[in-house]
Structure 1
Amino acid sequence: MIAEAKKQVIKDTVPVLEAHGTEITTVFYKRMFEAHPEMLDIFNLTNQKVGDQPKALAMTVLAAAKNIDNLDAIVPAVKGIAHKHRALEVRPEHYPIVGKYLLEGIKEVLGDAATPEILDAWEAYYGKLAEIFIGIEKDMYGQAAWEGFHPFIVKEKEQMTPDIVRFTVDSDEVDKTITAGQYITAKVQPEHYPNMELRHYSICAMNTEEGISFAVKREGGDGTKGIVSNYLHEVIEAGDVLHLSAPAGDFKVADAHDKLLFIAGGVGATPVMAMAEDSVAKGKDVRYVYSVRNEAHQPFKDQMAAIEQKGADLKIKFSETDGYLNRDDFAGAESREIYICGSMGFMNVMMAELEAMGIENSRIHFEPFGPKMSMAAV
């Protein structure tokens, strides 16, 4: 338990975190990596460069601070992050390292305003937050389909679009049962690159008899070229070995939801594809609205045709000729549970459109391709 006096200090400093949270977490990451370069084998450095990870950490800390009298309220958000931690092999011994440099970030950014009383309260608060994460992650490690990063043979590599490849990987030594919406995590070390790199990739098909299928979009941009995606596209071929951690994630269709609207953009179709397949197979009422640049860039044509043949209401909109998705494409959404996946920008626009339609947030379930908490409103 956190003493009431320390809770009050946390509450009083929430405005400071709102004003300086991302600055604090940016300093935290810089200091931690300098002192513990081994942590670079866990964290996604591309998310560091574009600023999503520092913002996500700041939002997580802020959400917990605002709910310090009822930390159970943040458990749903914690579980989503904990799934990623388990997939990345984040362990209890990592939490004291994070705590130390988070406090150093607070001291550096706030200067003299970071009094011993404030630092003591934040140390106690972080300790409680770490305890929650460690407890949830312990259960997840116990439930994982296999331990650590297991070797899989690449059985097939299929170029679905100019920038998306579908891999099918297999192993006879592990249980390949999946839940629609989950992701696997690949661990690679590209040649001449100093660190291990870990990335999450959504599983895109329910049938695992021939192996687990996941799709990888080649990421690129000025200063943010995707290290792992380009490595997988250019280097990994059928017959090679990839090391994967067990499926993880909490983006899944609740059994009680029978009328569904899936909304996806670009490679966001990846988890939604498996979710739509599974839902159609279970006899659910499925509407699937998908946006992509043009037909040449449309992945999963075979799987989309199959679910449409089995009764799914499928709408594909090519943005170059048909424009972008908007509320007119979501007719009847008021009576459905909604599941969305896509880029951070796509997600923000879709959420705004649904909000304008008066859809309750509790009926919207989403998975962005980036740190989810960087989108949080807390």
Structure 2
Amino acid sequence: MTTTAMGLDKETRDIIKATVPVLQEHGEKITARFYQLMFENHPELKNIFNQTNQRKGNQSKALAGAVYAAAANIDNLEAILPNVKLISHKHKSLNIKPEHYPIVGKYLLLAIKDILGEAATDDIVVAWEKAYGVIADVFISIEKEMYEETKNTVGGWVDFRNFKVTKKVVESDVITSFYLEPADGNPFPVYQAGQYVTVKAEIEGETHNHLRQYSLSCAPGEGVYRISVKREDALGDNPAGVVSSFLHENLEEGSILPISAPSGEFVLDLEDSRALILMSGGVGLTPMMSMLETVIKEQPEREVIFIHAARSGRFHAMKTRVQEIAETKENVTSYTVYDSPEADEQCDKEGYIDSEWLEKILPTNDAAFYFCGPKGFMRAAYQNLKKSHVADADIHFEIFGPAEDITA
């Protein structure tokens, strides 16, 4: 993918680059206005976008980051390909189609005009229209390949497919697991440890369906998909999670849940045989459990260190299973960190994970590090690993929104 091949002339690229400082200053206002305009005119698209993230501003921030990155790299769009692929996995999981892109482009340009006012000259608007067309074509092309690959996989499907809940297991005070098998009884594809599915929640009384992405929490090839969902309770100004509450309260064994095929690039590299360090906070445990269950089957000799942080034992899901693995596999060690342990609770560390403690328990910094959890946890994990001189190539995580939220 080169800018020449994509047909953006130098004048257009120069105009786009000149708008980079404006995007830094007004990007989130532009994207917030974009969503407002688009949903007013296309309320059916509320089915696709997470309205909780809309309300919190996360979605606007993520889009602003993506637009800014594209503008800053307009001379060399290859630089943003890794991020394009990451977003394309999410788009594929949400079943974003080529026909959605012109709608997004239309309201993005209107939002730029609205927020920048007279500063949005005709030249700037035309340049952004051209640039958006080029960037949209890149996404459409990559996503087309992804859809075709999924469709051509044994048991693969595009859009949503009904799965039946075969088992419901309460894992902690706030996390419940749902075991899912295809309602049609036909084959379904194996996935890679770390991938996720999109759940379509069709909730009575809601004006639109809700889509949410949940990591698969068991090893591939077990004849079942499992998602482990944290119930998001009301807290301060934030209402209870619409979808997580629905799943916890309404889904029972035998219930039908439409899901998309597995997606995502945050996957365990089984070509690497070095020590594997898995770190999770809260419900970030879910992809880490899939990776742990996978590595003990696929690489039974590989050294694994599993570190989980939770508020206390009441919030610690799958503790018994991890203990069982650590007790029966000599090469697996597990550590528990509790922020506020209750009186009779045992843990390996009270408070938070810090670099000094990590350096005491980790055998080496020449290892593969994977982590997942709330943003604060992930930011601390990243900084702790950098303090320990872990190479960037050995640090693996996935985040909703700009990576700078973690790495800055």
Q: Is the 8 A contact 1:46 1:224 kept in 2?
A: no
The answer as to 2:200 corresponding to 1:180 is no
**Counterpart position of 1:265:** 281
Write the mapping of 1:1-378 to structure 2, written as runs, cut at 5 A: 1-144=7-150, 145-171=156-182, 172-206=185-219, 208-220=221-233, 221=235, 222-258=237-273, 259-281=275-297, 282-283=299-300, 284-308=302-326, 309-310=328-329, 311-321=331-341, 322-331=350-359, 332=362, 334-368=365-399, 370-371=400-401, 375=405
Contact 1:342–1:367 (CA<8 Å) still a contact in 2? no
Aligned-partner Cα distance in 2 for 1:306–1:132? 46
- Taking structure 1 as reference, are residues 189 and 179 closer, same or farther at Cα in structure 2, changes over 3 Å only? same
1:337 CA drift (Å): 1.8
Instruction: Return the alpha-carbon distance in structure 1 between the equivalents of residues 194 and 389 of structure 2.
Output: 26
Distance 1:104 1:313 in 2: 55
RMSD (Å), alpha carbons = 1.7
User: What is the TM-score of this pair, normalised by structure 1?
Assistant: 0.95
Q: Once the 2 structures are TM-superposed, how far is the Cα of residue 303 of structure 1 from its aligned partner?
A: 2.9
**How big is the shift at 1:334?**
1.8
Structure 1 unaligned spans of 5+ = none
* Residue-by-residue CA offset, 1:75-115 (whole Å, 9 max, x unaligned): 11111111110011100000000001111111111110000
CA contact (8 A) 1:181 1:252 kept: yes
Would you say the 8 A contact 1:44–1:199 is kept in 2?
Answer: yes
**Per-residue deviation, 1:301:** 2.2
Of 162-171 and 281-290, the range deviating more from structure 2:
281-290
Structure having greater relative contact order (Cα 8 Å, sep ≥ 6):
1
Go from structure 1 to structure 2 and tell me whether the alpha carbon gap of 1:352 and 1:193 turns closer, same or farther (over 3 Å shift).
Answer: same
1:248-301 CA distances to partner (integer Å, 9 max, x unpaired)? 111112233222211110100000111122123213221111101111211112
Larger CA deviation: 4-13 vs 138-147 = 138-147
Q: Deviations over 1:222-260 (max 9, x none)?
A: 234211000001111111100011011111122332222
Give the total of aligned pairs. 377
Name the amino acid aligned to 2:337: K
Residue by residue over 1:54-93, the C-alpha shift from the partner in whole angstroms, topping out at 9 and shown as x without a partner, is 0000111111111111111111111111111001110000
**Identical aligned pairs, as a percentage?**
40
- Taking the aligned partners of 2:77 and 2:134, their CA distance within structure 1 comes to 9
Residues 41, 373 of structure 1: CA spacing in aligned structure 2 closer, same or farther, 3 A cutoff?
A: farther
Correspondence for 2:344: none
- The 1-side partners of 2:265 and 2:239 are apart by 27
TM-score by length of 2: 0.89
Residue 377 (structure 1) shift: 6.5
Indicate the larger mover: 256-265 or 46-55.
Answer: 256-265
Asked whether the equivalents of residues 379 and 407 of structure 2 are also in contact (C-alpha less than 8 Å), the reply is no
